[in-house]
Amino acid sequence: MHKIKVKINGTDYENEVEPRLLLVHYLRDKAHLTGTHVGCDTGNCGACTVFLNGKPVKSCNMLAVQADGADLMTVEGLARGGALHPVQEAFLDKFAVQCGYCTPGMMLSALALLKSNPKPSEAEIREAIEGNICMCTGYQQIVDAIAHAADLMGQSRSA
């Protein structure tokens, strides 16, 4: 057993974990943050995407012990003070959510893109979510939502 300390969505956590415990299972089973999902076992689907020290990672692809000392953000950290994040608003506005299972990972990949590229083209959006599989929507409304989120975030920056 190893002791790890992490910050998740601004809250400190300290747990004893088996060295083989995947980060995604740590988040879900130990920290009880079940918004991060599992859709595959090979790092292909992106349902498990979280931010680790500000960068998107697939939490099924790393061990909890590797995250020791890290600052993590999961989907539960997007909304602040009861208000939805613009990416969340945009996903609802554009019908980008069907079953919702890919949504947390998809939104975090979208946010990673928008942080580095606030006005992405459609092609750039599609490329940025290439590591996230959505089985329901066919992606088009997700792509539209991300473009819309870029607008919403641009507005809030200029406001």
Question: What's phi and psi for 77, nearest 5 deg?
Answer: -90, 0
Q: Compute the distance between CA of residue 23 and CA of residue 60 in angstroms, rounded to an integer.
A: 6
Measured CA to CA, the distance from residue 27 to residue 64 in angstroms comes to 8
- Which segment (34-42, 51-59, 111-119, 149-157) binds another protein by CB under 8 A? 34-42
| CA distances for 86 relative to 22, 114, 137, angstroms | 30, 11, 20
Show contacts with another protein in window 115-144 (CB under 8 A).
122, 125-127, 129-130, 132-143
| Residue among 38 and 65 whose Cβ is closer to ligand FES | 38
Instruction: Say how far apart CA 39 and CA 60 lie, in whole Å.
Output: 10
Distance of closest approach, residue 10 Cβ to another protein, in angstroms: 15
Copy the structure tokens of residue 66.
């590797």
CA distance 130 to 138: 12
Answer for which of 6, 8, 26, 35 binds another protein (CB under 8 A) is 35
Asked whether position 46 contacts ligand FES by CB under 6 A, the answer is yes
Quote the CA–CA distance of 120 and 154 in Å, as a whole number.
Answer: 12
Q: Which does 141 bind (CB under 5 to 8 A by kind): another protein, ligand FES, none?
A: another protein
Q: Which is nearer to ligand FES, 60 or 114 (CB)?
A: 60
Under the rule (CB under 8 A), what is the footprint of another protein?
A: 18, 20-21, 25, 28, 32-42, 44-45, 47, 74-76, 78-79, 84, 88, 91-95, 97-104, 107, 122, 125-127, 129-130, 132-143
Under the rule (CB under 6 A), what is the footprint of ligand FES?
A: 38-40, 43-48, 58, 60, 97-103, 134-137
